[in-house]
Amino acid sequence: MSLNNFIPTIWSARLYQTLKNAHVFANVVNRDYEGEISSYGDSVKINSIGSITVGDYAKNGTINLQQINSAQSTLEITEAKYFNFMVDDIDKAQNNPKVMDGAMQEAGFALADTADSFLAAFQSDAGSTVTHATLDTNPEESYDALADAALALDENNVPREGRFAVVPPFFNKAMVLAGIFETLSGTISAEQEKMNGYVGQLLGFDIWVSNNLETDGGATVGIAGTRKAISYAEQILDMEAYRPENRFADAVKGLHVYGGKVIYPNALVRLVVTAG
């Protein structure tokens, strides 16, 4: 790459595609408000609708008119992360010309990893908690843990559409040892195959594996829920190529901003699991 053929919109699109495929958590949240942010510090108002009352109707009778109750939440863009790397002219001349493209992919992976850690922290806002220990000695507990998470969501009248579970690698190992993968339902689409950490479907959950989950004592806290539970928005705001002072090199820097909020806590479950 050289400054002569650097087109910011094209490179931003490449970076964003890498970012999308490298994400785990950002693939399981609601991103409906993404187009409404343009800079760090922006905020988006999110209206949630209350429940609708159903009444009995009698012929020639009157019906009651219900006023819709709504609650408003604010999604704030609180995070701003940057990257800034260079390729020396000598390295650029001696190596594959796609070196900058590869570096841009690595930038995307790094940004996704940081953003996923941010989203994993929202487990603390979940409305329910399911705890299962000793998955190494009792791998079948992995199935029980997902079943209990599904039960918690069912009891909260959470729709089954768009359910997900993000679990640690040792939970995935337990599912393998228990032979659960033999019962996994659904086929993985071409788009899902590109996504980092996607495993398959079980008990109505799209299951993902992540190393960015938080810990609580000796346990790891996974998250199960539906996409509507967490709202998230991100943008690649700036992408700029330049020649660093005192260097014979091409450099690229970019700015990634994002924010998230739990909108429906009852649609989220803390999945507290322990390996052994």
Distance separating alpha carbons of residues 24 and 120, to the nearest angstrom = 10
Which H or E element spans position 222?
strand 219-226
Distance separating alpha carbons of residues 17 and 36, to the nearest angstrom = 19
Q: Which two tokens stand for residue 168?
A: 């640690």
Whether 185 has a pLDDT exceeding 70, the answer reads: no
In the chain, the domains with their CATH numbers are 3-120+232-262 (3.30.2400), 128-229+265-273 (3.30.2320)
pTM: 0.82
Q: What is the pLDDT of residues 95-112, one digit of tens each?
A: 555 677 788 889 999 999
Least confident of 77-81, 123-127, 248-252: 248-252
* Mean pLDDT computed over every residue of the chain: 85
Angle at 14 between CA 244 and CA 18, to 5 degrees: 105
Quick one: pLDDT at residue 231? 92
Whether 50 has a pLDDT exceeding 90, the answer reads: no
Q: Which two tokens stand for residue 227?
A: 């996409």
Please, which pLDDT band fits residue 190 given cuts at 50, 70 and 90?
A: very low
Q: Which two tokens stand for residue 155?
A: 């009891």
DSSP three-state, residue 75: strand
Quick one: pLDDT at residue 272? 96
Whether 200 has a pLDDT exceeding 50, the answer reads: yes
> Residue 48 forms beta bridges with which residues?
71
Quick one: pLDDT at residue 99? 74
Q: Which amino acid appears at position 257 of this protein? A: V
